Each structure stands twice: as structure tokens, then as C-alpha cells.
Structure 1
Amino acid sequence: MNKADWIEGMARGMAVLESFDTERQRLNATLTAQRTGLTRAAARRHLLTLAELNYLETDGQYFWLSAKVLGFAGSYLSSARLPRAVQPTLHQLSLATQLSCSVAVLQNDAVIIVARGIWQGCDLPAKTSHSVLAYGLHVGTRLPAHATSTGQVLLANLQAAPLKAWLEANPLSRLTARTATQAKDLKQKLKQVAKQDYCLALEEHELGVDALAVPLRNERGDMVAALNLVRSGAGPNAPDLVTRWLALLQQTAQALRPLI
């Protein structure tokens, strides 16, 4: 992009909007400045402007996203090919496995869920169920790529140079005791993921939550997204996800190739 075409104010405003997520739903100027790298004064001006445009609501101190931002999400979901193509299959997959499933794409340091199949019949312990819902496993959720099965599948399929740049640009925060927080440890796992062409993540993002993911490729063989199954609240005698569901997950990914 030509530097003369870059609009710094717009980029900063979008960064402020993106600083809101399921873990930080309400922000003040100080927290926004920390999350965006802006000064507190600049963050405050951007928050007030976005509130004046009705993209944020406020109580005078804290700010949160308004319903107006749903217009963008609704437009994307109604027009983008990927969510529309995979959604019927995700419903079938959830029914077959009695597990929830997702399709996610990589964006900067996170994966974004673009489609979900939710198994309504699961009976989760109260603590686990609340925790899963708190992380907002729904369409539009951003999750840290390094700690999720879909993120690791997507990172494992990057070329060496983009992966090196990604690792240098993004800190690996610890979410559980099983989260890889050192680049060398994550790279070692990503090599294994690339070799076997699937990822099993056991409590790396959240305690009590395991996930199995495979890449979604189009007919040219280009990776478009990642598909996973998520199991919550499994006991020590629960069947192994790979043994039980990998073949079906791979078959589902193969069936989606002509559609994406």
C-alpha cells in the first residue's frame, strides 16, 4: 500500500474497536490505551468519538460495544461464502458427534470463529459450562491462536518466513499450565501438527476443554480455514478424541473442499 493512502486516524479507531473482546467487554481510557498502544488522552478521544457515532455505549467512565457493530457482522455472514457453505455441515457434525464444532480463520494473533455447530444436548458441570460460555464460543469470537487447536493448525500451515514473523510479533500468553509460552515449544508442536495434519489441544486454552482440529482446504489445496470439535468437562475415562473422531473430522473436511 502507498504510504500516502494510509489514514492513521482510521487505523487507530479500528484498533480501539478491536480492543473489545469477550475477555474485556468494558474498557476505560486507561485500559484502552494499554491494549492499543495509544496515549490515554488519544484513547479517550477515540472512545468518545465512537460513542458519539453510536458504535460504543458508555456510563461516563467505561465503554462497551453497542448493537450497531452487529451490522458489520450481519453483512459479513449474509455475504461471505465460507460461513454459508459450511454451516449445514457443521449442524450435521454436531448431531453425529454430540459435540460442538467450529470453523475459524487466522487474523493477526487470534483465530476468529466464522461458523459454529452447537450440540444442545450436552450436560456440562455448572462450573465448566459457565467458563465455556464466558469465553464466548460463538460466531465472531476471537481466541488466541497459539493456545487453540484451530490456531495451531493454521499456524502450522504457514511458510517458514511468515511463521517466524508471527512468532516474533506475538507474545505467547499463558492461559493454563498446558499453554506453550516459549516460541521453541510452540514451534516443536507446530512441526508435529504439520506432519500429522491435525491438532489435538488438551486444556491449552481452558481447563476442562479439549479440542481436535483439521485444516479446511479448497479444491486447489489452499488452506482456507480450520475445523474443530470441542469437548468440555470430559472425565479421565472419556474416549480419546483422535481415536473416536479424527476420521470423521477428516471426512467432513474432505466433503467441504468443493464448497469452499
Structure 2
Amino acid sequence: MSKTTSMGRGIIAVLAVGSRNAGDLPGGTVADIAADLGKDRSQVSRSLRTAEHEGFLARGDHKSYALDWSLLTDAQLLTEQRLQSDGATALEGLSRETDEGCFLGVLSGDSTITIGERVPASSNMVGSWLGRPYPAFCSDAGQALLWEASDANVRTIFSDVAFVRHGPNTPLDVEDFLSRLRGARVRGYSIVDEEAEPGLYSLAVPIRDFKGDVVAALQVVGAKAHLEPRREFCATALLSWGQWLESTLGYSLPQNRL
């Protein structure tokens, strides 16, 4: 899209207002936005009025423009719906490709909860994990769901958590968890090796939405004896389906991460 079109100028103006909101500023006047963009005030004023008319911006006191948060609320609701529908597609494709149990999990406090699952007929997994919470410090999805969290935030989440041993390799404490999380970030996906229970092995990647927030984790889970030898193959499929699901949620990889 050409930046010289009225729509292009309007989008640039909306992004400029959004940048001010992201920087903890309440918004900006025509003069503020024009200065940020280095553009003529009259041109910026027309673009801001158009964006306001279309419902992208709201004008408040002192003629200051801010994002219309109802629009973002609608976008968030759409993201949740897409996570369910497109998440099911990703799970189906990933399970078919890997012939392993595949799951979609979300974070709830210091636990993870499964919101989607696909288990092939060849699997010996018994029962369903849908809706069941599990401690995030040793769950298949825990590291992926805390992928973008700072060390301080992770320590806060686990501040009142007892690191009870669930498998032979359960993290000993929050610092042990953080060490594993750092390794996962370098690798590009997490490996949970007999942390949740003996003999269980899993790979997971974070799923981000249009805001860049981690909203879920996509996982491949199976018996260690079967899944570990196929780790690279399954990780490639996992990363591919994870990127596909993120794209349906509107996530774009930052330029400096390409």
C-alpha cells in the first residue's frame, strides 16, 4: 500500500497514536502527532479526523487523540475465537504429521490449562486433559507460556509455589526453571523431559497474537522412548504449525527477528 494514499496516511496516523499509548502517554494532539511524524499539521489533522470517523481513534479532552479501545476489545474477542477454531486446525495437522498427541494450553495464574487436544489412535494416552490445570513450573506448556516473561515476573508467578517433584527431572526451584527457559529460547522451542511425569517427553512453542502477547502454547507430547529420537522432525513440524497459527492471529515477526 502506498504511503501517499489517504488510507495509508490514516494508518500511519493510527500507528503514531498507538506508539504514544504504548509509551504510557495518554494520546496526542494534532501538533504532537505531526511532530512525531515530521509531517505537516494540516495533513495530519485530516488523517486523524478520518481515523476518528472510521472508529479507530477517539478524541478526548484538550483535542487529544487516543486509540479507541473498543476496537481492540473486539479484536481480542476475535483472537480468542480464532485461537479455538484455527487452533483446532493446527492441532489436527500437527498430530497427523507427527503421529503424536498434540495440545494447546493457556496460562492461568501459576498453572497451565489445556484448551485443545488431538490424540492419534496409535497413541497410548488415556483420558482427556481438556480443562485440567497442571503446575506451570513442570507442565508441557509452562516454559512456552512464559516465553516473553521477565525473570522478575516469573519469580513473582512462582513466589508462593512449592516445587514438588512430579518426575525425575522436575525443576528444583524457580532459578532452575529460569535456566531451562533461557535454554529453550536459544533453541527456539522448549523440551520438557520427564519433568511432568516419568517417561513423558514434550516439545512446545509459544503462540502470539496480533499484539505480540503470548496467548497459548502449542505442544507435541508423547512417550520419551518414542518421541525423543524423533525430536528434530517433530520440532520442525511444531515450529511450522506454530508460525501458521500465529499468522492467523495477526502476529507479524519483528523485522529484527527475521
TM-score by length of 1: 0.60
Structure 2: distance between partners of 1:233 and 1:198? 17
CA RMSD of aligned residues (A): 2.2
Question: Matched residue of 1:88: which SS?
Answer: helix
1:52-67 aligned within 5 A: none
Cα deviation per residue 1:63-83 (whole Å; 9 max; x = unaligned)? xxxxxxxxxxxxxxxx84422
Corresponding residue for residue 58 of structure 2: none
Structure 2: distance between partners of 1:100 and 1:257? 20
Moved over 3 A (4+): none
Q: Are 1:116 and 1:139, in contact at CA under 8 Å, matched by a contact in 2?
A: yes
Residue 143 (structure 1) aligned to one of 134, 140, 160:
134
Cα deviation per residue 1:10-54 (whole Å; 9 max; x = unaligned)? xxxxxxxxxxxxxxxxxxxxxxxxxxxxxxxxxxxxxxxxxxxxx
Structure 2: distance between partners of 1:105 and 1:138? 12
Distance verdict in 2 for CA 1:201–1:239, change over 3 Å: closer
Q: Are 2:140 and 2:221, in contact at CA under 8 Å, matched by a contact in 1?
A: no
1:101-140 aligned within 5 A: 101-122=102-123, 124=124, 129=125, 133=126, 136-140=127-131
1:89-238 aligned within 5 A: 89-122=90-123, 124=124, 129=125, 133=126, 136-232=127-223, 234=225
Displacement of 1:218: 2.4
Q: Are 2:98 and 2:237, in contact at CA under 8 Å, matched by a contact in 1?
A: no
Corresponding residue for residue 242 of structure 1: 231
Aligned residues: 171
Cα deviation per residue 1:218-253 (whole Å; 9 max; x = unaligned)? 244321111010112626xx6534312111111101
Cα deviation per residue 1:150-183 (whole Å; 9 max; x = unaligned)? 1111123212332121121222111112111222
Q: Percent identity?
A: 26
Cα deviation per residue 1:106-145 (whole Å; 9 max; x = unaligned)? 11121000111111122x3xxxx5xxx3xx5422121111
TM-score by length of 2: 0.60
Distance verdict in 2 for CA 1:82–1:217, change over 3 Å: same
Corresponding residue for residue 88 of structure 1: 89
Structure 1: distance between partners of 2:201 and 2:115? 20
Structure 2: distance between partners of 1:233 and 1:240? 8
Q: Are 1:145 and 1:152, in contact at CA under 8 Å, matched by a contact in 2?
A: yes
1:94 corresponds to which letter in structure 2? S
Moved more, 92-101 or 137-146: 137-146
- Structure 1 residue runs without a partner (length 5+): 1-78
1:216 corresponds to which letter in structure 2? I
Question: Matched residue of 2:182: which SS?
Answer: helix
Structure 2: distance between partners of 1:233 and 1:151? 18
Corresponding residue for residue 256 of structure 1: 245
